[in-house]
Each structure stands twice: as structure tokens, then as C-alpha cells.
């Protein structure tokens, strides 16, 4: 159809990424890479400062040229001072991620060209772990913009997985538990499907827990065994380390199918074959499973639910293929996990559905403003093209607060919007001057749970100045408005004078306008090769 509008969903994963779209018939399509794989390794190799490789070819370079190859960049998202220096240029996490996104977009463009279509890959929804904070979400959005994409929305991965599952289950009310163990992050989320709505009930997670930790535990065991015999550590040599890491990854996959496997360690002219049994691997990594189990219990407590309240268990992420993970979930829940979704692809598919819905909502709003309600409804029905009109209700994953002073002038964090609060949400509270003769007030905006400054992340500040000096206790009102697009509007009002100011915390990333423009120009000129 010549008037069909293409929008895309992207799962920007720690170890693998994928891109998907919803076709003219309302069916999801995961777009294969140039290497004809549905998922692409999230690894970037820089052959020089203007050429890159992403995916399987880049994975091969981890051993041949590790200094110029980057993996697991997602774990660094939201850290403004973190960078890799490659070929005399510093790359921050957003830029590395942007190159991965550029590869996905190029693959999609080539896919359509092979079908005889010229399609612009521009409008996207990108997913993140539900427990990502605003800094990490902002960095993800910024990565998309650096890649030349229009980021319609940054979406929670578990919600995307639930949408991929629930799109064909609408009409059957149920509570869904999403266990999302990826390569580098872990999320557990409870969602409720009722009528044509999907609600996010509660979420918990650990952005520093993922399949990589299982890999590291097994690698450390093999390296230690070798070191004990030969008094030399393969982890000290980049080539030996990467070779061992590759073999550990293959062994982990083998142990999902077989009771035992062999791992060959080669280093310093010596070679050792180490047998690893599945039970032994499970013992080595039992602490990781306990972390997962603890977070599962935490999210049930947050939702005020028990396992008996849940109807469906979804396993998401490649690391859930490990038998120990599936068995733990069975033992905890007393239920058999659903096999209705592909753990590697469901997040990208759910993001594609959300991109489609987001696009339709925007077109509906434009039509309503220009032509009225009746015309807008007619357009929406046409654009849905048989898709069920599903509404998604997400909630605050991390509480939002403000730093105050108590009667002893000690700092503490006051919660304004608690986690699990439905989005959008508006709250207003009254505070007072801490000192006599104040002429300005600074509101420091926090994210996360805790009572001390060090317990939370400082994500912004708003200053109200040029106030007339008055005594301690003079009232101020602070308003927080958390919007559906995950931006936070903040307003401070001096009650007596009516003087006010406003600020906004957005998903804008950490780069200045000038840095962003320079980076966009550089990435746009980079080529695969």
C-alpha cells in the first residue's frame, strides 16, 4: 500500500538487539539483519575513526582487536562521564549505542529494498529495562537521536513483552508476571490485562544483573583452575581472556542442553581441558539465582499479590533459556511459564505495536484539531486496520522527591511521587523557608528510594530567586507533574507574593546542543566496513 506509514520498535539490548514493525495486515515482522539473523549482537568494532562493524563481524574482532571493540555498553547508559577512547576519539555510551541503532536502521532499509520498497526508517520506539532511571532513559533517547531517528517513545521492556503476549489475549482478564533476564540487566514486572487495557502494577530489578554475570562466574572458575595448575592467569592477557570468554559462552549454551561439557583454556603456551557439569555450573552461580528470587518476592510485595494471584508467567531475554532459571521460576510460582512468546524477539515486537499505536494517537490528535472528532475517529479506525485498540497504563518505577532540611538543618529526602503511581500524575505540597531573610529557594529533584542524598540520584534542580526577604517559615508550594512521555514539570510558587518559576526534567541525555550536533554529524558520516 503506497499510503502505508512505517514505524518501528527496537529492542536495544545489552548483548543482542532487534528491530521490528507491524505490516499492512497488522502482523509483527522481526526484520533480519544483513547476516540473515533476527537478532544482532550489540557489539561495535571501529576499524578506523570513520568505519564501524556491528554484530557478528564485530564479535569476531573482540579477540583480534579488543582495544577497538566495545560490548555491553548498555550497562554504562546514563553515566555522563564514562567514555571509550578509540582511534584518538572519545565515545560516550550514547554514541556507541547510536552506532548499533544505525546498523539496525540500515539493515531495515536494505530489507525493504530487497522487497522493492524505499522505506525511511525514522520513527521508532526504543525499549529500556523498567527499572532504568531518567538519566538512563534520557541517554537511550539521545542515542536514538544521534542515530538520526525520531524517538516516539522510550518504553519499558516488560510492558513491551506483555503487549506482544497480550495483543491476542485481549478479552481475557489476567495478571501477567514478566521475568526479564537479559544479557546485562534483570527486571521483574507485574502487569494486569483487563478489557482493552494493560496496566503496569509494580516493577523491580537490577541493572547490574544479567547473563553476563553467569558467564563471568564460569570464566573465573576456569581461569582459577588453570592458574592453580600453571601459576599463570589467562585473564591477564587480552587474547587469552577473549578466547576463553568465547568458549565459556558456547559452554553455557551447551549446558542448557547437556549434563556436562568441556572448556579448553589456552594461555602462555599451555593448554588445559576443564570438564564442567551442569550441576557444578548451577552451584557456581547460585547467588545469582538467589538475587533473582529475592527481586521476584520484592515485586510481589510491592503489588500486594501472591503467586496464586498470577495467571501467566512470561520469560523474556536469552538468559531465561538456562534450565536453572526456568526451574527456579517453576518452583517459586508453582506454574509452568508460557511459551506463547519468543524470549529473544517479543520485546522488539511489543515495541513495534506500541510504535504503531503511538503513531495512530498522534495522527488522531492532528485530525481532531483540524477536522473534528468524527473525522478523527474515522481516520483512527482506518489506521488501526483491524488491530485492537489497546491502551497501556505505565507507572512510576522509581519514586521522585525533593531534598529538604529538618529542624536541625540536616538534609533528608521527601517523597513527592511514590513508585507504582500511575502516569500521568500531579502532586502539590507546601514547604517553608529554612532561614530568615531568604531571597531565593532551590528545589533539588531526586529519583530513587531512600532518606539520604547518597541514597538517591539528583536528576535536576529549579531555582526561584528575586524574592523579598522574609522570616523563616514563609510558605512555598512545589508542584510535580509527571507526564506520559516520562518528563517531569516542576513549579515553585511563593504563596504570599505569587512569584513563581517553572522547570522541566526531560529525557534529554547529558550532551550539550553543540556536542550533540557534532556527534550527529560524525555518526552520519561513518560507514560500515
DSSP 344: T
**73 vs 391, residue with greater confidence:** 73
Same domain, 69 and 120: yes
Q: With beta carbons less than 8 A apart as the criterion, state whether 320 and 182 touch.
A: no
Can you tell me the mean pLDDT for 98-115? 97
Reply yes or no on whether the pLDDT at 442 is more than 60. Answer: yes
Q: With beta carbons less than 8 A apart as the criterion, state whether 354 and 216 touch.
A: no
Q: With beta carbons less than 8 A apart as the criterion, state whether 385 and 26 touch.
A: yes
Closest of 147, 288, 273, 298 to residue 215, by C-alpha: 288
Same domain, 87 and 137: yes
Classify residue 153: in a domain, yes or no: yes
Task: Please state, in angstroms and rounded to a whole number, the distance separating the CA atoms of residues 382 and 38.
Answer: 30
Buried b / exposed e over 162-180, threshold 16 CB at 10 Å, is: bbbbbbebbeeeebbbbbb
DSSP 199: E
* Cell numbers for 414: 521527601
* Cell numbers for 275: 570438564
Chain mean pLDDT for the chain = 93
Q: What is the pLDDT of residues 293-340, one digit of tens each?
A: 999 999 999 999 999 999 999 999 999 999 999 999 999 999 999 988
Q: How many percent of the chain have pLDDT more than 70?
A: 99
User: Would you place residue 529 in the very low, low, confident or very high pLDDT band (cuts 50, 70, 90)?
Assistant: confident
Locate the DSSP E strands across 231-353: 260-267, 270-277, 312-316
Q: What is the DSSP string of 451-510?
A: SSGGGSEEEEEEEE--PPPB-TT-EEEEEEEE-TTS-EEEEEEETTT--EEEEEE-S--S
**Number of residues in the chain:** 529
Q: β-strands 527-528, 411-417: how paired?
A: unpaired
End-to-end C-alpha distance for the chain, whole angstroms: 34
List phi, psi (to 5°) of 11: -95, 100
* Cell numbers for 497: 507574593
Q: Which residues pair with 447 in a beta bridge?
A: 400, 457
Same domain, 447 and 380: no
Same domain, 37 and 155: yes
The whole-number pLDDT of residue 1 equals: 40
Same domain, 269 and 120: no
Q: With beta carbons less than 8 A apart as the criterion, state whether 94 and 150 touch.
A: no
Closest of 284, 280, 270, 287 to residue 228, by C-alpha: 270
Same domain, 373 and 424: no
420: left (phi over 0), alpha (psi -120 to 50) or beta: left
Q: Which residues pair with 427 in a beta bridge?
A: 480
Classify residue 85: in a domain, yes or no: yes
Q: What is the pLDDT of residues 260-289, one digit of tens each?
A: 999 999 999 999 999 999 999 999 999 999
Domain's final residue, options 364, 390, 416: 390
Can you tell me the mean pLDDT for 198-204? 91
Same domain, 384 and 402: no
* Cell numbers for 472: 523563616
Same domain, 27 and 100: yes
Reduced to 3 states, what is the DSSP secondary structure of residue 7?
Answer: coil
Reduced to 3 states, what is the DSSP secondary structure of residue 391?
Answer: strand
Same domain, 143 and 46: yes
Closest of 347, 343, 293 to residue 322, by C-alpha: 343
Closest of 76, 11, 88 to residue 522, by C-alpha: 88
**pLDDT-wise least confident of 168-177, 274-283, 519-528:** 168-177
Classify residue 360: in a domain, yes or no: yes
Q: With beta carbons less than 8 A apart as the criterion, state whether 129 and 207 touch.
A: yes
Classify residue 313: in a domain, yes or no: no
Task: Please state, in angstroms and rounded to a whole number, the distance separating the CA atoms of residues 469 and 399.
Answer: 33
Same domain, 62 and 122: yes
Q: Considering its fold, how many domains does the chain have in total? A: 3
Q: Which CATH number does the domain housing residue 467 bear? A: 2.60.34.10
Q: Could you list the residue range(s) of the whole structural domain that residue 92 is in?
A: 8-168+342-390
Q: Which CATH number does the domain housing residue 237 bear? A: 3.90.640.10
User: Would you place residue 487 in the very low, low, confident or very high pLDDT band (cuts 50, 70, 90)?
Assistant: confident
Reply yes or no on whether the pLDDT at 521 is more than 90. Answer: yes
Taking CA atoms, 116 is separated from 109, 112, 124, 523, in Å, by: 11, 6, 22, 27
Same domain, 412 and 468: yes
Same domain, 383 and 416: no
- Return all residues near 197 (Cβ < 8 A) that are at least 6 apart: 390, 391, 392, 393
| Report field, pTM of the whole predicted structure over 0.85 | yes
User: Which uninterrupted H or E stretch holds 215?
Assistant: helix 211-230
Q: Which CATH number does the domain housing residue 36 bear? A: 3.30.420.40
* Cell numbers for 224: 582459577
Amino acid at each position: 500500500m503506497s499510503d502505508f506509514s512505517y514505524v518501528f520498535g527496537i529492542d536495544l539490548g545489552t548483548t543482542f538487539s532487534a528491530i521490528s514493525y507491524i505490516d499492512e495486515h497488522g502482523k509483527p515482522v522481526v526484520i533480519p539483519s544483513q547476516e540473515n539473523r533476527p537478532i544482532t549482537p550489540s557489539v561495535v568494532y571501529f576499524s578506523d575513526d570513520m568505519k564501524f562493524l556491528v554484530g557478528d563481524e564485530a564479535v569476531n574482532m573482540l579477540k583480534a582487536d579488543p582495544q577497538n571493540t566495545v560490548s555491553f555498553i548498555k550497562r554504562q547508559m546514563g553515566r555522563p562521564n564514562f567514555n571509550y577512547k578509540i582511534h584518538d576519539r572519545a565515545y560516550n555510551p550514547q554514541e556507541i549505542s547510536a552506532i548499533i541503532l544505525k546498523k539496525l536502521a540500515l539493515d531495515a532499509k536494505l530489507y525493504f529494498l530487497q522487497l522493492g520498497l524505499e522505506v525511511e526508517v525514522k520513527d521508532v520506539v526504543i525499549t529500556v529495562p523498567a527499572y532504568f532511571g531518567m538519566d538512563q532513559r534520557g541517554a537511550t533517547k539521545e542515542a536514538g537521536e544521534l542515530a538520526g531517528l525520531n524517538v516516539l517513545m522510550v518504553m519499558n521492556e516488560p510492558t513491551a513483552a506483555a503487549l506482544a503476549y497480550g495483543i491476542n489475549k485481549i478479552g481475557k482478564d489476567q495478571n501477567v508476571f514478566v521475568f526479564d533476564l537479559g544479557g546485562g540487566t534483570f527486571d521483574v514486572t507485574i502487569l494486569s490485562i483487563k478489557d482493552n487495557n494493560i496496566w503496569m502494577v509494580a516493577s523491580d530489578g537490577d541493572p547490574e544483573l544479567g547473563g553476563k554475570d553467569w558467564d563471568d562466574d564460569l570464566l573465573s572458575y576456569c581461569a582459577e583452575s588453570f592458574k592453580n595448575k600453571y601459576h599463570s592467569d589467562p585473564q591477564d592477557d587480552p587474547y587469552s581472556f577473549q578466547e576463553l570468554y568465547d568458549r565459556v559462552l558456547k559452554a553455557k549454551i551447551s549446558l542448557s542442553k547437556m549434563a556436562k561439557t568441556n572448556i579448553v583454556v589456552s594461555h602462555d603456551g599451555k593448554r588445559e581441558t576443564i570438564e564442567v557439569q551442569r550441576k557444578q555450573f548451577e552451584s557456581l552461580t547460585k547467588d545469582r539465582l538467589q538475587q533473582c528470587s529475592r527481586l521476584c518476592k520484592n515485586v510481589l510485595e510491592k503489588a500486594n499479590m501472591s503467586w496464586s494471584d498470577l495467571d501467566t508467567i512470561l520469560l523474556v531475554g536469552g538468559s531465561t533459556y538456562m534450565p536453572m532459571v526456568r526451574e527456579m521460576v517453576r518452583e517459586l510460582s508453582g506454574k509452568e511459564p508460557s511459551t506463547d512468546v519468543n524470549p529473544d524477539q517479543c520485546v522488539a515486537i511489543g515495541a513495534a505495536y506500541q510504535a504503531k499505536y503511538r503513531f495512530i494517537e498522534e495522527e488522531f490528535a492532528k485530525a481532531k484539531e483540524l477536522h473534528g472528532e468524527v473525522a478523527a475517529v474515522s481516520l483512527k479506525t482506518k489506521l488501526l486496520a483491524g488491530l485492537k485498540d489497546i491502551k497501556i497504563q505505565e507507572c512510576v518505577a522509581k519514586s521522585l522527591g525533593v531534598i529538604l532540611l529538618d529542624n536541625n538543618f540536616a538534609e533528608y529526602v521527601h517523597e513527592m511521587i511514590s513508585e507504582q503511581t500511575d502516569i500521568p500524575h500531579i502532586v502539590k505540597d507546601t514547604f517553608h523557608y529554612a532561614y530568615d531573610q531568604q531571597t531565593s529557594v532551590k528545589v533539588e529533584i531526586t529519583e530513587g528510594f531512600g532518606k539520604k542524598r547518597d541514597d538517591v540520584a539528583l536528576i535536576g534542580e529549579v531555582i526561584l530567586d528575586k524574592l523579598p526577604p522574609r522570616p523563616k517559615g514563609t510558605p512555598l508550594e512545589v508542584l510535580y507533574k509527571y507526564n506520559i512521555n516520562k518528563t517531569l514539570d516542576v513549579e515553585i510558587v511563593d504563596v504570599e507574593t505569587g512569584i513563581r518559576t517553572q522547570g522541566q526534567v526531560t529525557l534529554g541525555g547529558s550532551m550539550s546542543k553543540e556536542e550533540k550536533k557534532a556527534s550527529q554529524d560524525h555518526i552520519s558520516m561513518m560507514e560500515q566496513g
